[in-house]
Structure 1
Amino acid sequence: MKTTIKKWGINGEGIAFHEGKPVFIENAIPEEVIEFDIKSDENTYLIGEMTRLVEQSSKRRYPLCPIWKECGGCALMHVKYPAQCKMKEGNLKETLIKYADYNGRILPIIKNPEPLSYRNSCKLPFGEEYGELYTGMYERDTNHFQKMERCYVHSKLLEQTRQAVLKIMNEHHLKMYDDKKKTGYRTLVMKEFDSKIQIIFVTGKENLSEEFIHDVTQLEGVVSIWQSVKTETKREVFGDMRFIWGEEKMHLQLEDIQLSLLPRSFFQLNTKQSVNLYNVVKDWMPRSKTTVEAYSGIGAISLFVKDKAQEIIGVESIQDAVDNANENAMLNHADNVSFICEDAGSALAHLVQEKDVDTLIVDPPRSGLDDTMKETILKSKIKTMIYVSCNPATLAKDLGVLKKEYRIVKIQPVDMFSQTPHVESVTLLVRNDDYRPRRRFDDRKDRDYKPRRRFDD
């Protein structure tokens, strides 16, 4: 069958229409004419497969990665970068209209200065082929494991080190994890900050030889080695953590903020764009008496805005992250910043009773805000809210609820994850009773503007 692709899907697919139903077709680009087959009928929509590209879009490019289709991690590798950004802006706008009935101000996306080689960490399972270890990824929605020769979105040092580590492992004839014996190597986890690399080997009941560890320590940039012993089948990647060599923590400088990260601590995958995102939050945050940051992680955002509030309280449900965050507050001499371990919604409920909380920052997981959190926000007297989101769908649904009491002032998308359809964003909300729109005098027309006297009897 022949069709024209009409629009983007949220996962980077092209969408056409057949007999009144949308057809989602991977790797197709709007305005392209293609031939396709129907793979499945999902009642309200169809899944199609492109069989021939008839008329190619000017937005299409040759993808650098030879396994981009099979891997699925970079669903937009075949799309020119400016078109990727337009797609993300368009999908964000469409999602906000659909779920929040919002058609207001969305600022131009902050583009990634490095659309390739930007990712500062990886978490890759091991495979084995002809007696040699390799790392890879499972193809999306399958159990098929795809070998990775090279990743184009890893930072150059991270990728260079990943390949060198594999070479050393194979020189030592190491084996992948055997579930029956409970021995072998399961996952390779690496982080790179400021040209320094931490490596975590997730293994079964395995003793890492001194010779193997010595060889890995000779690699340029490697400063920390950990082992995580895991024999359970739980989805959690890590098991029992064991410090092996070097520095126990990673250290990261973000402008004038220093961060120390424990091996299991999460930090944004794109360091440079994280600074841009945090600066948006800082610029938009008003001077505050008491600010609460929910889902605060290791405390990066709270520390970035530490000079704009008398008191900042971060709330995080993972104790390791809270301990890490409080250490970071001490490291940055931020006496007005502290962190507690508690459920975000429950903590906010009692904090608004005890303190005059006037600003709230939230950076929830992809699932968005839970019902307790939304209910607490609506009942509170919090004047300003800044919502950092990694999922336009849950953001829009949450805003659809919050707009009962809050006005959306503006939204700033940030391209954190180039080559993928994902988009980060920052939303500024002000409580309806406190909203006072101010005219901006940005351009020549506005500078020349003079209010005219009204004669209204």
Structure 2
Amino acid sequence: MKTTIKKWGINAEGIGYLHHKPVFIKGALPDEVVSFTLEKEMPRYSIGHLQSILKESPRRRKSPCAYADQCDGCALMHVDYKGQCLMKMQILKQTLAKYAGYRGKINPIIKNESVLGYRNSCKMPVKQVDGKIRLGMYKAESNTFVSIPRCIVHQKSLEQTRQMLESIFNTYSMQAYDFQTESGLRTVVIKEFEEKIQVILVTGQDTLDAEMLKEISQLEQVVSIWQSIKTDNSVDIYGKEMRLLYGQKTMELHLDDLVLQLLPRSFFQLNTRQAYRLYHYVKDLIQPCDVLVEAYSGIGAMSLMLAKKAKKVIGIEYIEDAVQNANENAQRNHLKHVSFVCEDAGKALRDMKETIDALVVDPPRAGLDALMKEVILKKQPNQIVYVSCNPSTLAKDLKQLQEVYQIKSVQPFDMFSQTQHVESVVLMAKKEVK
């Protein structure tokens, strides 16, 4: 069978049509003519398997990654950068129109200055392959493990450290995790900020070899080694127990005149440079006010960047470690009018006595829950800045918020080049009462 690809799918598939029904074909690009076989047929759509390209898009390129077809981590490696940005703009435009009814202006995407080598951290599962420890990825929607000898979206030093760690693990005959014995290496987490590297080894009930730890500590730029003990099957990558095995307890990050300390569980945006640009963009949007609230505030980086915009800043985050980290960062930077509370965002916002002038929300991919949207529409802050990593949930949330608010601007950012993901910042203001 063959079809002409008409547009992008939200997960970077090409969408063609067969008997007027959409067919999602992974690896195909808009304007290409492709041959395919049917993998799955559903009542409203089908999934096809790409066999060959009969007419190639000018946006197609040879992937710079030798493992792109295996790991599924970067869905757009076969697309040139202009094509990647066009795809993200198209998906955002279509999704906002479909779910939010918004057909207004969308600003040009703010491009990533480093389209490779930008990622400041990695979390890689571990498997035993032919008797050797390997770090890798699981193929999308499967239990198929793929060893990754080299990843080109990692920062250079981080990737070099990852490769050397794999070699060290095999030198000391480390074993992958065994659920029966509750021992072995499960996941390796590596973070790099300002040319310093933190290593977190997620294991079972293991006492790690002292000589192996010494060798890891001597790797260039490694300043911290942690062990996380995890024997359960929860979705949290870390276990409840964290042990500092070597070096610094925290990682340090400078943003303008701020100094942030990050605990090992703390999350920071995976693209440091683009995160900095996004925070500044949000800062420029906010009008000076009395009370500013940031929901889903994490370690408080954005709240602290916005500190000069309000007389009082409150961050809300449900992860206890992040809240502790955020409050310590506020104290460290002498920002006494900035504080953080550990609570569900909707409940905390509902219970606030203060009149909220400006609200910044940066929710997970699932977007705002029902309570959060209900409270926003009741509290009605003058300004809302919605930072989103998922166009679909963003658009669905905006549809409800437009009962009271109007969209003033939409600004996409390319945070994660080579992938289908796009970050968006939407400014909303209360509608004028006629």
Specify the TM-score bucket, using the shorter chain as the normaliser: over 0.9
Report Cα offsets for 1:390-418 as digits up to 9, x if no partner.
00000000000000000100010000010
Alpha-carbon distance in structure 2 between the residues aligned to 1:207 and 1:417: 37
Task: Give the letter aligned to residue 162 of structure 2.
Answer: R
List runs of 5+ in structure 1 lacking aligned partners. 436-457
Counting only pairs closer than 5 Å after superposition, residues 176-215 of structure 1 correspond to structure 2 as 176-215=176-215
Task: Give the letter aligned to residue 17 of structure 2.
Answer: F
Report Cα offsets for 1:8-31 as digits up to 9, x if no partner.
000000000000100000010000
The 8 Å contact of residues 383 and 434 in structure 1, kept in 2 or not, is answered as no
Task: Give the letter aligned to residue 394 of structure 2.
Answer: L
Counting only pairs closer than 5 Å after superposition, residues 415-454 of structure 1 correspond to structure 2 as 415-433=414-432
* Partner residue in 2 for 1:84: 84
The offset of 1:184, in angstroms, is 1.0
- Are positions 1:220 and 2:220 aligned together? yes
Counting only pairs closer than 5 Å after superposition, residues 24-63 of structure 1 correspond to structure 2 as 24-63=24-63
152-161 vs 230-239, which moves further = 230-239
SS of the counterpart of 1:322?
helix
Task: Give the letter aligned to residue 401 of structure 1.
Answer: Q
The offset of 1:259, in angstroms, is 1.1
Alpha-carbon distance in structure 1 between the residues aligned to 2:235 and 2:388: 24
Report Cα offsets for 1:66-115 as digits up to 9, x if no partner.
22122111000000001100110110010000000001121100000001
* Partner residue in 1 for 2:377: 378
Alpha-carbon distance in structure 1 between the residues aligned to 2:77 and 2:341: 41
The offset of 1:142, in angstroms, is 1.1
How many residues align structurally? 433
List runs of 5+ in structure 2 lacking aligned partners. none
| Aligned-residue CA RMSD (Å) | 1.0
The offset of 1:43, in angstroms, is 1.3
* Partner residue in 2 for 1:153: 153
Alpha-carbon distance in structure 2 between the residues aligned to 1:175 and 1:339: 41
* Partner residue in 1 for 2:413: 414
Counting only pairs closer than 5 Å after superposition, residues 91-106 of structure 1 correspond to structure 2 as 91-106=91-106
* Partner residue in 2 for 1:443: none
The 8 Å contact of residues 358 and 383 in structure 1, kept in 2 or not, is answered as yes
Task: Give the letter aligned to residue 271 of structure 1.
Answer: T
Task: Give the letter aligned to residue 80 of structure 1.
Answer: D
* Partner residue in 1 for 2:321: 320
* Partner residue in 2 for 1:122: 122
Alpha-carbon distance in structure 1 between the residues aligned to 2:137 and 2:19: 36
The offset of 1:434, in angstroms, is 7.7
The 8 Å contact of residues 105 and 409 in structure 1, kept in 2 or not, is answered as no
* Partner residue in 2 for 1:9: 9
The 8 Å contact of residues 59 and 80 in structure 1, kept in 2 or not, is answered as yes
Report Cα offsets for 1:313-353 as digits up to 9, x if no partner.
001111111100001111211111100111111111121xx
Alpha-carbon distance in structure 1 between the residues aligned to 2:244 and 2:385: 38
Q: Larger Cα Rg: Structure 1 or Structure 2?
A: 1
Task: Give the letter aligned to residue 108 of structure 2.
Answer: P
Instruction: State, as a whole percentage, how many aligned pairs show the same letter.
Output: 52
Alpha-carbon distance in structure 1 between the residues aligned to 2:207 and 2:78: 43
* Partner residue in 1 for 2:243: 242
SS of the counterpart of 1:357?
coil
* Partner residue in 2 for 1:366: 365
The offset of 1:256, in angstroms, is 2.1
Report Cα offsets for 1:271-316 as digits up to 9, x if no partner.
0000011011000000011001111110011011110100000011
- Are positions 1:402 and 2:401 aligned together? yes
* Partner residue in 2 for 1:441: none
SS of the counterpart of 1:176?
coil
* Partner residue in 2 for 1:293: 294
The offset of 1:158, in angstroms, is 0.6
SS of the counterpart of 2:215?
helix
Alpha-carbon distance in structure 2 between the residues aligned to 1:124 and 1:157: 16
Task: Give the letter aligned to residue 173 of structure 2.
Answer: H
Report Cα offsets for 1:39-62 as digits up to 9, x if no partner.
110210000011111111110011
The offset of 1:433, in angstroms, is 2.7
Alpha-carbon distance in structure 1 between the residues aligned to 2:158 and 2:256: 22
Counting only pairs closer than 5 Å after superposition, residues 329-340 of structure 1 correspond to structure 2 as 329-340=330-341
* Partner residue in 1 for 2:283: 282
Alpha-carbon distance in structure 2 between the residues aligned to 1:412 and 1:381: 22
Alpha-carbon distance in structure 2 between the residues aligned to 1:395 and 1:174: 43
Task: Give the letter aligned to residue 244 of structure 2.
Answer: F
- Are positions 1:110 and 2:110 aligned together? yes
SS of the counterpart of 2:163?
helix
Task: Give the letter aligned to residue 430 of structure 2.
Answer: R
Task: Give the letter aligned to residue 279 of structure 1.
Answer: H
Alpha-carbon distance in structure 2 between the residues aligned to 1:130 and 1:13: 33
* Structure 1 ranges of 4+ moved more than 2 A: none
The offset of 1:376, in angstroms, is 0.9
Report Cα offsets for 1:224-274 as digits up to 9, x if no partner.
000011111222211121111100111111222211111011111100000
The offset of 1:178, in angstroms, is 1.4
Alpha-carbon distance in structure 2 between the residues aligned to 1:104 and 1:12: 24
Task: Give the letter aligned to residue 165 of structure 1.
Answer: L
* Partner residue in 1 for 2:75: 75
The 8 Å contact of residues 5 and 14 in structure 1, kept in 2 or not, is answered as yes
Change (3 A) 1:146 1:405: same
Task: Give the letter aligned to residue 121 of structure 1.
Answer: S
SS of the counterpart of 2:198?
strand
The 8 Å contact of residues 33 and 55 in structure 1, kept in 2 or not, is answered as yes
Alpha-carbon distance in structure 2 between the residues aligned to 1:257 and 1:87: 35
Alpha-carbon distance in structure 1 between the residues aligned to 2:143 and 2:354: 50
* Partner residue in 2 for 1:22: 22
SS of the counterpart of 1:28?
coil
The 8 Å contact of residues 293 and 302 in structure 1, kept in 2 or not, is answered as yes
SS of the counterpart of 1:433?
coil
Task: Give the letter aligned to residue 404 of structure 1.
Answer: E
* Partner residue in 2 for 1:166: 166
